[in-house]
Amino acid sequence: MRDHFEAVAGAIGELRQGGEDFLANYRAEDSTFIRFNKSAVRQPGQVREIELGLSLIDGRRIAEETLSLSGGVDEDRGRIARAMASLREVVAVSPEDPYLLVSETLANSERTIGEALPEAGDVIDAVTEAGKGRDLVGFYAGGPVFTGFANGRGQRNWDEARSFNADWSFYAGGDKAIKTSHAGFAWNRSAFTGAAADAASRLDILTRPPRTVPPGEYRAYLTPAALNEILGMLSWGGFGLAAHRTRATIFLRMIEGGAQLNERVTLTEATAAGSAPSFQREGFLKPEAVTLIERGAYRDCLVSPRSAAEYGAATNGASGSEYPASLDMAAGELPMADALKALGTGVYVSNLWYLNFSDRSGGRLTGMTRFATFWVENGEIVAPLNVMRFDDTIYRMLGSQLEALTEERALLLDPGTYDGRNLDSVRLPGALLAGLRFTL
């Protein structure tokens, strides 16, 4: 694919005219997708696609077109030529863009990550074997994802990630399940089998009669997967400079009202430690780390080139959405093995689901427990809990009520596949809360 990317970049360079500049964002994937239900195959498939995001720039005028490519150099040269001609017409009638900012520093980069990935047949064998005699439902996505950037100044950035993400649930009945994922950059069947066996070994407890507890405030332990759902809501317009300047951020009371989170909370966009590419669509490289919240206080924003131009700030290579791609939460001091004991009596939340804002300005979130949530007494799991709704503020959950973070952290690779396979990741601990408000 690298050769094809270089040919594409070369073709664009040859087709430009006069003082035109360009940005070329190349993305290709060759993905195996296999869906399972009832420990059997539901939909097995493969997707090969190449997409080029091409921006043509003339002075301060810019237009962008994203087009599918075939992989054949001659065919694609024709498609690019047609796109360039169309873009040229659009640029000619477009107004100047006051916030256009592209990298003027030549910064090449290259990364290749990942090793051997399984054939589809191996995945089907491994998953159906793991599900034998059980109710397994889940999804495997794997294969290479290629990301490239080129511009008219000759910059080249290339990222080649061969990864897999097996994400599945063993159901004990009804809505009670153990959800697990096994993801990485080198498939090892015995590691998958071990992870599946470990998940299955935790099923028995879900067969106990479930409890329902009345709405109210309870002590709670959030696993890293559950806490990730809350951090996902903070990431949704929380850390971007534009969201701060337009007062849309969930951190409004921190930046205007002096509110703080618990001093245990330090959040960093840790690009160097994550799995996402280190460059972005206007050609800027991302720094190794940007500290967003330090010991409970708001520090830096993610700044896209567009926001940098609009607000007179320096960009730190954020994407246009100013959404973190490699969020890292600092570890605490609670050994994960002691989480139940530290919880004492309360709710152990394995997974949260479908969070949204009850009051964004007020920092208030709601969401549901899902899969495996347990009622715990004196450090022992008593029974699975029926699903419950929480509704609480970040200033309590990550502030006054945050009692401890675990010393171990989990690296979670994003299983999302909406616009192609996502390469984002998070690294975060579990969290012990002195009180979490449940409402329904």
Partner 1 sequence: MFEEIERRFRRLAPAVDHCTLRIERRREEKLTVERDAPGPRRALESVGGMVTVRHQGGLGYAATSDCGESGLADAIARAIDLAALSANRMVPGFPGPVPFTVDETYTGPQAQPWAVVPLADRLTMLADASKRLRIDERIADWGAAFWSIDKEQWFLDAAGGRIVQRFHYLQPTLWASASAQGETQRRTFGDAGMRVGGAEVLDQLGFATAPERVAHEAIELLEAPNCPEGAMDIVLAPDQMVLQIHESIGHPLELDRILGDERNYAGTSFVTPDMFGTFRYGSDLLNITFDPGVAEEVASYAYDDEGTKATREYLIKDGILMRPLGGATSQARAKLPGVANERACSWNRPPIDRMSNINLEPGEGSLADLVGKVERGVYMESNRSWSIDDSRNKFQFGCEYARSIKDGELGGVVRNPNYRGISSGFWRSLKGVGGADVFAVAGTPYCGKGEPNQAVKVGHATPPCLFGGVDVFGGA
Q: How far is the CB of 363 from partner 1 (least distance, A)?
A: 7
Question: In angstroms, rounded to a whole number, what is the distance separating the alpha carbons of residues 285 and 308?
Answer: 14
Question: In angstroms, rounded to a whole number, what is the distance separating the alpha carbons of residues 303 and 318?
Answer: 5
Judged by CB under 8 A, the stretch of 40-48, 261-269, 278-286, 429-437 that binds partner 1 is: 40-48
Residue from 104, 256, 333, 377 in contact with partner 1 (CB under 8 A):
256
Shorter beta-carbon distance to partner 1: residue 59 or 416: 416
Instruction: List phi, psi (to 5°) of 224.
Output: -55, -40
Q: How far is the CB of 140 from partner 1 (least distance, A)?
A: 9
Q: Is 229 helix (H, G, I), strand (E, B) or coil?
A: helix
Question: In angstroms, rounded to a whole number, what is the distance separating the alpha carbons of residues 144 and 134?
Answer: 31
Contact 433, 397 (CB under 8 A): yes
Residue from 70, 108, 112, 345 in contact with partner 1 (CB under 8 A):
70
Q: Is 214 among the residues that bind partner 1 (CB under 8 A)?
A: no
CA–CA–CA angle 237, 238, 240 (5° rounding): 70
Shorter beta-carbon distance to partner 1: residue 91 or 107: 91
Question: In angstroms, rounded to a whole number, what is the distance separating the alpha carbons of residues 417 and 423?
Answer: 9
- CA distances for 116 relative to 32, 53, 113, 189, 412, angstroms: 14, 29, 11, 11, 20
Shorter beta-carbon distance to partner 1: residue 72 or 379: 72
Q: How far is the CB of 17 from partner 1 (least distance, A)?
A: 19
Strand pairing class (216-222; 267-269):
unpaired
Shorter beta-carbon distance to partner 1: residue 274 or 367: 367
Contact set for partner 1, span 352-371 (CB under 8 A):
353-364, 366-368, 370
- CA distances for 92 relative to 44, 57, 87, 95, 328, angstroms: 46, 10, 9, 8, 44
Strand pairing class (346-359; 216-222):
parallel
Judged by CB under 8 A, the stretch of 4-12, 205-213, 239-247, 400-408 that binds partner 1 is: 239-247
Question: In angstroms, rounded to a whole number, what is the distance separating the alpha carbons of residues 205 and 374?
Answer: 9
Q: How far is the CB of 406 from partner 1 (least distance, A)?
A: 25
Q: Is 228 among the residues that bind partner 1 (CB under 8 A)?
A: no
Q: How far is the CB of 202 from partner 1 (least distance, A)?
A: 16
Nearest to 309 by CA among 250, 246, 241: 241
Judged by CB under 8 A, the stretch of 203-211, 244-252, 261-269, 374-382 that binds partner 1 is: 244-252
| 170, β-bridge pairs | 136, 178
Contact 167, 48 (CB under 8 A): no
Q: Is 207 among the residues that bind partner 1 (CB under 8 A)?
A: no
Q: What is the x/- site pattern for partner 1, positions 150-189, by CB under 8 A?
A: -----------------xxx-x---x-x-x----------
Q: How far is the CB of 228 from partner 1 (least distance, A)?
A: 15
Residue from 90, 289, 340, 411 in contact with partner 1 (CB under 8 A):
90
Q: Is 217 among the residues that bind partner 1 (CB under 8 A)?
A: no
Structure tokens at 91: 């640029």
Q: Is 400 among the residues that bind partner 1 (CB under 8 A)?
A: no
Q: Is 133 among the residues that bind partner 1 (CB under 8 A)?
A: no
Instruction: Please identify which residue in the block is written with the tokens 């399984």.
Output: 118
Q: How far is the CB of 434 from partner 1 (least distance, A)?
A: 19
Contact set for partner 1, span 302-341 (CB under 8 A):
306, 310
Q: How far is the CB of 38 from partner 1 (least distance, A)?
A: 6
Question: In angstroms, rounded to a whole number, what is the distance separating the alpha carbons of residues 277 and 261?
Answer: 30
Q: Is 430 among the residues that bind partner 1 (CB under 8 A)?
A: no
What is the maximum alpha-carbon separation in the chain?
A: 75
Question: In angstroms, rounded to a whole number, what is the distance separating the alpha carbons of residues 375 and 397?
Answer: 19
Q: How far is the CB of 296 from partner 1 (least distance, A)?
A: 18
Residue from 4, 11, 55, 221 in contact with partner 1 (CB under 8 A):
55
How many residues bind partner 1 (CB under 8 A)? The answer is 91
